[in-house]
Structure 1
Amino acid sequence: MTYTVNCSILLTELPLLERPAAAKAAGFDAVEFWWPFESSVPADADVTAFERAITDAGVQLTGLNFNAGNMPGGDRGLVSWKGRCSEFKDNIAVVAGIGERLGCKHFNALYGNRQEEFTAEEQDELGVKNLVAAAQGVAAIGGTVLLEPVSGTPAYPLKTAADVMAIIARTEAAGVDNVKLLADFYHLAVNGDDVAAVIENHAKDFGHIQIADNPGRGAPGTGTLPLDQWIARSRELGYTGPIGLEYKAPAAEAFNWAVRQPSN
């Protein structure tokens, strides 16, 4: 099994730049991150320090989020956020540059919460334009933009796989084919989606899979979700990418459940 450790939600007892080495020490060869900077265009020195933390640890960066705003404050992406379009557009080149230098090809674009002062149609029009721009921006390095349903945030409009696929269809109609569904089994399950049906219908086209158990968003085996079955079926139907570990657990016991294997 190929796993990639999300170092933005795991190993948080450590400073961010120490987490790739900790993932390596725990037996993993791949990591992914939410946007690790405070702004869309961070200082060159900060980008260099982040990249060196990855390369010095000897791990592969398999996924990176675009800037999603103030996540602890409740933001969930800039893609459809009217008034912050330039921030998102400026972020694309930075993300693509990191991806090119580190060999990362999958980039998660959180869609953004609904804004009361704008209609859903207005935000979706912007969202599609920004997703197309992001897809074009990473296409030069063979990149894929990921779009995911999210739970726990009522204002976030993409809650099911069908919600995401409807937006992806609009990006395809606009001429890009490298926006894909990020199947986070935890978010899908919590939102009441039929995860088994999503897998049957879309597994071969998944851009990425992430897992956590429910209830609690804990490690696999701490809840009731049939994660092993869902992963196995996704593999049977053609998904070949890594499995993102995006759950909450203390570092000392975060990986007790896993039979750790290299990701290469």
Structure 2
Amino acid sequence: MTRLSANLGFLWADLPLPEAIRAAKAAGFDAVECHWPYETPAAETAAALAETGLVMLGLNTRRGQPGENGLAALPGREVEARAAIDEALAYARAIGCGAVHVMAGFAAGPEARAVFLGNLAYACQAARADGITILIEPLNHYDAPGYFLQGSDQAAALIAEAGHDNLRLMFDCYHLQIMEGDVSRRLARHLPLIGHIQIASVPDRGTPDHGELDYRHIVGVLSGLGWSRPLGAEYKPTRLTGETLGWMAALRAG
């Protein structure tokens, strides 16, 4: 049966993080993930996870200043980028979270690439002792124009060049369907590099039961590839989250 993770950056976003964790448990999710949990003391988040038995799969480094979308590929911002990595890793350790998404930011060119690789090396080394995976995620150029990472092949090339065994690709089907399509074959090609998979409808980023991608098919593809980890539901509810969960039963059934 397909396992599912609730992305609490979008689902139950109106609730404090500990209450959102409890709501995800009550709704039948198998795990949770989030964007930026830093306004909630780690002890409170850890307590809610322990109470529910859920695991926090991942969280993001901070975006930076207003209007920014990450720091790790920005030349001249290495001190801030590494402080954000340190903060994210400390929070992850405190709550038993297995992955940190290092956000690249708006940048382009060889200098940005070199800076990103340097910051990823720093993150991977700092995360290794605790068994934490570092994730990088391509974003589409409609939602995040100018973001450094825009494709799965670009991310795969960076992972290969970086050469760190705890650096993985966050494969967001929503973003990559928009940018590249051919999602089934891309999942198969990049599976050894994938650390997490996220789902939402395309192009409206709604519940994963309509639009350009048939996630029942994607679930079948992933099952055939041997993927057994939770899929992250990172969609934007159009009404109260609890009223949008009708898709879960059909997707679980495959």
Which runs of no fewer than 5 residues in structure 1 stay unpaired? Answer: 39-44
What is the Cα deviation at residue 260 of structure 1?
9.2
Q: Aligned residues: percent identity?
A: 34
Report whether the alignment pairs 1:85 with 2:78. yes
1:68-217 to structure 2, matched below 5 A, reads: 68-69=63-64, 73-114=66-107, 120-151=109-140, 152-172=143-163, 176-217=164-205
TM-score when normalising by structure 1: 0.85
Q: Aligned partners of 1:229, 1:203: CA distance in 2, in Å?
A: 16
Structure 1, 181-190 or 151-160: larger mean CA deviation: 151-160
1:154-198 residue CA offsets vs partner (Å, 9 max, x unmatched): 2113211111112112211xxx22111111000001113321221
Q: Distance in 1 between matches of 2:225 and 2:180?
A: 22
The aligned amino acid for 1:59 is L
Contact kept, 8 Å, 2:3 with 2:230, in 1: the verdict is yes
Query: 1:246 — aligned with what?
Result: 234
Cross-structure match for 2:43: 48
Alignment counterpart, residue 227 of structure 1, candidates 195, 201, 215: 215
1:23 aligns with 2:24: yes
Residue equivalent to 1:41: none
3-state DSSP class of the match of 2:201?
coil
Contact 1:61 1:102 in 2 (8 A): yes
Q: Distance in 1 between matches of 2:77 and 2:156?
A: 24
Assess if the C-alpha contact under 8 Å between 1:203 and 1:238 holds in 2: no
Asked whether 1:258 is paired with 2:248, we answer yes
CA contact under 8 A between 2:6 and 2:33: conserved in structure 1? Answer: yes
Q: Supply the distance in 2 between the matched residues of 1:74 and 1:235 (Cα, whole angstroms).
A: 39
**Matched position secondary structure for 1:259:** helix
Equivalent pair of 1:51/1:98 in contact (CA under 8 Å): no
Residues 199, 235 of structure 2: 8 Å contact kept: yes
Mean Cα displacement is larger for which, 47-56 or 226-235? 47-56
TM-score w.r.t. length of structure 2: 0.88
Q: Please, what is the CA RMSD of the aligned residues?
A: 2.3
Unaligned runs of 5+ in 2: none
What's the CA shift for 1:212? 0.3
